[in-house]
Amino acid sequence: MTNSIRDITQADVLLVTGSNTTEAHPVLALQMKKAVRQHGAKLLLIDPREIELADFAYLHLRHKPGTDVALFNAMAHAIIAHGWINEQFITERTEGFAALKEALADWPPERAAVITGVRARDIVAAAQLYAQATNGAIFWAMGITQHTSGTDNVKALSNLALLTGHVGRPGTGLNPLRGQNNVQGACDMGGLVNVYPGYQPVTSEDVRRKFAAGWDVPYESLSPTVGLTVTEVMNGVLDGRVHAIYIMGENPMLSDPNLSHVEEALRAVDFLVVQDIFPNETAELADVILPAASFAEKGGTFTSTERRVQMVRTAFDPPGEARQDWQIIIELANRLGHNWQYGSPAEIFTEMAVLTPQYAGMSHVRLEQDGLQWPCPTPDHPGTPVLHTSQFTRGLGLFCPVAYRPPAEETDEEYPFILSTGRILFHWHGGTMSRRSPGLEAIAPEAEVEINPVDAAQLNIANGDWVCVASRRGEVLAAAKVTRRSPQGTVFMTFHYAEAAVNLLTIDAVDPTAKIPEYKVCAVKLNKTPFVVAASAASSGDKSLTTNN
């Protein structure tokens, strides 16, 4: 996030897209509601589904899933055509405007209306609302990134912010909402295939020499080769490049796309290690399981979606033989012949701060007092609530023309429905923790598939009926939830339920740049299933409800 959660209420227009904020980020969503109800902000919601935020929206554009670039390009076209641009900001702080303007000439709202299903006049109204705001803030989540065009989606949103100058002030900015509690921190610390901590590229000789010196290892031992992403790792097993996988706090047998392919890879890999706090579907395939500590049983720091680094303190000792993650990793490193001598998370953080410019001014001593937002370059720096206040990291902000590309898999006569996936408020990710809560399980005990009433009537499906949802990769059974929340032609499921593992259906096509899978769009068909058969299997605990074609 370029901005902070606390300055959401300073925006007079909130553009929210690809984020079911009230269910996936409920605490942050309270600030959005507060901005609307108490401060008079106007909410521009761009989402195919009629999520709860639609009740707070001044304008809701329900576009066809996977058509985001077409919609954002048309909004940008309208902003330029009507003279709603911020000329001073563009002149002083950006480059590439001429190229963008030329590319957008082919994107009138009328063209986008055909592709997206949104009326041209509504596209223009949305563009005017955002462009003419005093402070306009954009928020998105995985509904924008989990597409084969995910990188282009984000670039198109960035173009909107640069055209209007809604960057670098409170109540503005480009604000991706992280999907888990320390995803930001994991990325900051090099949990990506192409960078070391602080987003320093592995391909840079100077960077590798810096880390070799900081870690006291030979320079030659640090590879300049970019690693494999999650989906590439599974392919790497099957083509002989990957022989061992070490999985920490993740359940790819539920959360990765095209689960049949994932299962094939995890069964084929020579050696699989799973480090987690509970057994799960992936752990069932593991050669070794390492018992880890939960958040309440370990100390250290988490970095939140707003770049805020905060202390986590141990409340309980880990049970049994469980250990904190850093202790397990150090033990493994030393058994592999190294000599790692870290005595605490504070010592590890000190090394992190030396090698990571954004964290250079932080320490556990400072963080004991309060959280700090990076960049925090010196010990007396107060942290940075708003990024890019006077200039961008690269100097000038770059306009990036992007072309619309349809999703990797579109509907046809055999598979006429678009399937999109996401979360609900009551369960968390793969359900490894939340589905062990009796209270949450009582509220949301079974997988559901949202179906529009028009589609349900045509298929003779009633609310609560068992439905077989099938794609070219697999099929699952779920209870029908007939609701106008999902638009006609689109169905929605969550990925919380192992007995109806929706990722048996999703496609493993990925964005060519970020390599993120297209979880949000694939083609499926629906068939009503006799209740007595499905209920009998479900009541017996038969996991074969989740089958492959």
CA distances from 68 to 85, 131, 156, 177, 301 (A): 21, 18, 9, 17, 35
- List per-residue pLDDT tens for the chain, 549 residues long: 999 999 999 999 999 999 999 999 999 999 999 999 999 999 999 999 999 999 999 999 999 999 999 999 999 999 999 999 999 999 999 999 999 999 999 999 999 999 999 999 999 999 999 999 999 999 999 999 999 999 999 999 999 999 999 999 999 999 999 988 899 999 999 999 999 999 999 999 999 999 999 999 999 999 999 999 999 999 999 999 999 999 999 999 988 889 999 999 999 999 999 999 999 999 999 999 999 999 999 999 999 999 999 999 999 999 999 999 999 999 999 999 999 999 999 999 999 999 999 999 999 999 999 999 999 999 999 999 999 999 999 999 999 999 999 999 999 999 999 999 998 878 877 777 878 888 888 888 888 999 999 999 999 999 999 999 999 999 999 999 999 999 999 999 998 888 888 989 999 999 999 989 999 999 999 999 875 444 433 333 343 333 333
User: Longest Cα pair distance anywhere in the chain, in angstroms?
Assistant: 68
Sign, CA dihedral 186-189-191-194, equals positive
| Closest by CA position to 312, among listed 359, 367, 273, 361 | 367
Residue with token string 């954002």: 72
- Let me know if 12 is exposed, middle or buried by CB neighbors in 10 A (0-12, 13-18, 19+): middle
Q: Where in the chain is the domain with CATH 2.40.40.20?
A: 417-545
> Does domain 5-177 correspond to CATH entry 1.20.58.1610?
no
Positions of CATH 3.40.50.740 in the chain:
183-373
C-alpha to C-alpha distances, 34 to 28, 41, 130, 131, 139, nearest whole angstrom: 10, 9, 19, 22, 16
**Integer angstrom CA distances of residue 40 from 10, 19, 135, 241, 480:** 10, 21, 12, 56, 38
**Boundaries of CATH 3.40.228.10 in the chain?**
5-177
Amino acid at 481: K
Around 242, how many Cα atoms within 13 Å sit in the side-chain half-sphere?
A: 21
183-373 folds as: Rossmann fold (3.40.50)
What predicted TM-score, i.e. pTM, was given to this entire model? 0.92
Distance CA 398, CA 87 (A): 15
Report the topology of domain 417-545. Answer: Barwin-like endoglucanases (2.40.40)
* Per-residue three-class SS string for 19-41: CCHHHHCHHHHHHHHHHHHHHCC
